[in-house]
């Protein structure tokens, strides 16, 4: 079992690319340790900015650097980046069309016992609502690496949410068929008939894959769609998966409102209505515990996803 934090993969890519590109600049808000970006600060001190605990300044400075031709990557806890500096993300980055990559670290419920003040269960909805802002949620280190290599090649702003803890690999170095803004399918096929289509993102992709494998053992065929591109949403993949399935399940580390589940439900309802269920965090401060403990409690782990699929299929 190979487990690596996605934030480490980000640092590895930036370290590698910065050797031949001095326009890459990394900014942190007293968060270089949490973001696993200390090695970049040590290796390229002239290509770093420490903003301190000042997320609004962090985003504003990043936008200013981008307007001067730099490639800024601004990292800060997702809970603060997507709320405290929301206006700067909207105006300085999206509206001003600057090449700022906003990295929301320790996203979702990664901070565990620190509670709702440090959780980011609203960021998909908030950031997706900003015109010209893209939203990405990679599922493992290999997809994260591919995503950041692609982001370094474009000049549009984006918000990328990653968790704090090591996550199991969904893909491998040899098998990670990444195409920018196209969902990946780590289990099954969207072009084949299935009993259930499970559309997930971020850290819930691996539980979704494990759930699909468990369902297969019981004669239930599942397709898993890795929707790392929450915005722009890969609607073609959703339509294909839904049309070939009896039911659809979404799984995300987010509130029930405005996230992946809401977006998928809109697409399915408008194009190919199927019984759809959204697995999300509850609309209440979550219990205290590690990410895995919280996922299990709310039925967001592999067993919970598989059980919901079995239950849902009884109604189709």
Distance (Å, whole) CA 55 – CA 198: 35
- In which region does residue 30 sit, left (phi positive, over 0), alpha (psi from -120 to 50) or beta (all else)? left
Average pLDDT over residues 189-202: 98
- Is the predicted pLDDT of residue 113 greater than 90, yes or no? no
Question: What distance, in Å, lies between the first and last C-alpha atoms of the chain?
Answer: 36
Tell me the pairing of strands 222-226 and 184-187.
Answer: antiparallel
- Is the predicted pLDDT of residue 278 greater than 90, yes or no? yes
| In the chain, domain spans | 3-168, 184-311
Distance (Å, whole) CA 100 – CA 67: 9
Average pLDDT over residues 154-182: 96
Tokens of 2: 């190979």
pLDDT for 58 equals 98
pLDDT category at 14 given cuts 50, 70, 90 is very high
Q: What is the pTM of this model?
A: 0.97
Tens digit of pLDDT for each residue in 201-258?
999 999 999 999 999 999 999 999 999 999 999 999 999 999 999 999 999 999 999 9
Check whether domain 184-311 has CATH 1.10.357.10, yes or no = no
Distance (Å, whole) CA 248 – CA 256: 16
Average pLDDT over residues 94-103: 98
Q: Evaluate whether 3-168 and 184-311 have a shared fold.
A: yes
Distance (Å, whole) CA 302 – CA 300: 7
CB 157 within 8 A of CB 100: yes
pLDDT for 75 equals 97
212 three-state secondary structure = helix
The CATH architecture one would assign to domain 3-168 is 3-Layer(aba) Sandwich (3.40)
Q: What is the mean pLDDT of the chain?
A: 96
Return the number of other C-beta atoms located less than 10 Å from residue 26's C-beta. Answer: 27
Query: H or E stretch including 128?
Result: helix 123-128
């Amino acid at each position: 079992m190979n487990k690596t934090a996605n934030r480490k993969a980000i640092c590895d890519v930036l370290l590698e690319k910065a050797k031949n590109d001095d326009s890459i600049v990394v900014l942190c808000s007293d968060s270089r340790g949490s973001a696993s970006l200390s090695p970049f600060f040590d290796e390229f001190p002239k290509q770093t900015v420490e903003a301190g605990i000042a997320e609004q300044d962090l985003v504003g400075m990043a936008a200013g650097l981008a307007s001067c031709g730099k490639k800024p990557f601004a990292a800060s806890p997702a809970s603060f980046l997507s709320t405290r500096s929301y206006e700067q993300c909207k105006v300085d980055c999206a509206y001003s069309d600057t090449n700022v990559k906003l990295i929301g670290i320790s996203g979702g419920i990664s901070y565990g016992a620190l509670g709702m003040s440090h959780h980011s269960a609203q960021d998909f909805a908030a950031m997706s609502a900003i015109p010209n802002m893209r939203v990405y949620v990679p599922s493992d280190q290999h997809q994260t690496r591919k995503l950041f290599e692609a982001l370094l090649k474009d000049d549009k702003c984006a918000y990328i949410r990653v968790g704090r803890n090591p996550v199991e690999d969904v893909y491998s170095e040899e098998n990670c068929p990444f195409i920018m803004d196209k969902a990946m399918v780590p289990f099954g096929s969207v072009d084949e008939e299935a009993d259930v289509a499970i559309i997930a993102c971020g850290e819930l992709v691996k539980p979704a894959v494990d759930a699909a494998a468990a369902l297969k053992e019981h004669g239930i065929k599942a397709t898993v769609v890795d929707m790392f591109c929450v915005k722009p949403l890969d609607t073609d993949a959703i339509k294909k998966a839904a049309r070939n399935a009896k039911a659809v399940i979404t799984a995300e580390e987010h509130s029930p409102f405005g996230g992946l589940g809401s977006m998928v439900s809109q697409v399915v309802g408008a194009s190919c209505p199927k019984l759809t269920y959204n697995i999300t965090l509850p609309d209440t401060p979550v219990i205290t515990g590690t990410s895995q403990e919280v996922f299990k409690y709310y039925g967001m782990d592999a067993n919970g996803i598989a059980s919901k699929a079995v239950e849902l299929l009884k109604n189709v």
